[in-house]
Amino acid sequence: MGTRSRNHVTVSGRAGGPVVMLAHGFGCDQHLWRLVVPLLERDFTVVVFDHVGAGQSDLSAWSPERYATLDGYTDDVLAICREPALGPVTFVGHSVSAMMGVLAAAREPDAFAGLVLLAPSPCFIDDPATGYRGGFSAEDVDELLESLDANYLGWSGAMAPVIMGNPERPELGEELTNSFCRTDPDIARVFARVTFLSDNREDLAKVTVPTLVAQCSVDAIAPPEVGAFVQSRIPGSRLGTLDGTGHCPQLAAPEETAAAITDFVRAVH
């Protein structure tokens, strides 16, 4: 099976322009980039895709063995980057996809012009021994995963608004809830463990390409300390704080998100 059909890869925008690849997070698909894509298409070639198990990807390509760690997803990202005529891409990874970008760029830096890590977290679990604050205790994460296992649809309805933030705009939380609920529960359970139990703190120092860490001013899932930690561990990276709040600025603040991406891509090109 070809990479494009497996991951439902879509290419649009300015032919011959710098290539921007947008990668979605847990429980989402490429549709959540829909407000950002038109703002980028004027200047760049824009690549969006669905992780296997999400959206319109080929569900038959998913297996709990291949996707039990971020490595399977990283392999897919690199396969898309190797598509003919793409050339070095600026990879924009949202949430858990930010760490896929970190792993991919560490393995094949020549495939990347740069990384934009949007609301990243290398480890969601606090580590009192080192003073690292990821935002969740180990007990918090255990409870979260147990709740997801017991009642995925109920968990989605409760957690999506918390992840989205922006309670004054309930339609955003509803959209994320609906996105979660479209995901196969068995796939979601595996991906949730990958998302919330991975620890990629040691991988950050392996990144050698230009990197922007873009965090929101308020984010219940990846608090500001996490963004500062990521920036401090990636050599030469810079930190940008968006005025937008919540964990999904591509929905809550698409113009600001697109502007941050645009400024970075122009700088690296």
How far is residue 121's CA from residue 214's CA, in Å, rounded to a whole number?
Answer: 11
Burial 151-180 (b: 16+ CB within 10 A, else e): ebeebbbebbbebbbbeeeeebbebbbebb
Using DSSP's 3-state secondary structure scheme, residue 157 falls into: helix
- Which residue of the set 8, 24, 51, 247 is catalytic? 247
8 included as an active-site residue: no
| Residues 222-261: tens digit of each pLDDT | 999 999 999 999 999 999 999 999 999 999 999 999 999 9
Query: What local confidence, expressed as pLDDT, does residue 87 receive?
Result: 82
Low-confidence ranges of the chain (pLDDT < 50): none
Query: DSSP label at 204?
Result: G
Nearest to 80 by CA among 63, 99, 101: 101
Q: For 18, phi and psi rounded to 5 degrees?
A: -55, 145
How far is residue 104's CA from residue 89's CA, in Å, rounded to a whole number?
Answer: 12
* Both structure tokens of 19: 């290539």
247 included as an active-site residue: yes
- Which residue of the set 29, 76, 203, 219 is catalytic? 219
Burial 69-107 (b: 16+ CB within 10 A, else e): ebebbbebbbebbebeebebbbbbbbbbbbbbbbbbbbe
50 included as an active-site residue: no
How far is residue 224's CA from residue 239's CA, in Å, rounded to a whole number?
Answer: 10
- Which residue of the set 95, 97, 198, 237 is catalytic? 95
Task: Provide the residue type at 2 as one letter.
Answer: G
| Residues 26-40: tens digit of each pLDDT | 999 999 999 999 999
Query: What local confidence, expressed as pLDDT, does residue 2 receive?
Result: 86
Query: What local confidence, expressed as pLDDT, does residue 85 receive?
Result: 72
Nearest to 20 by CA among 2, 42, 1, 4: 42
E-strand spans in the chain? 10-13, 19-23, 45-48, 89-94, 112-118, 211-218, 238-245
Query: What local confidence, expressed as pLDDT, does residue 84 receive?
Result: 72
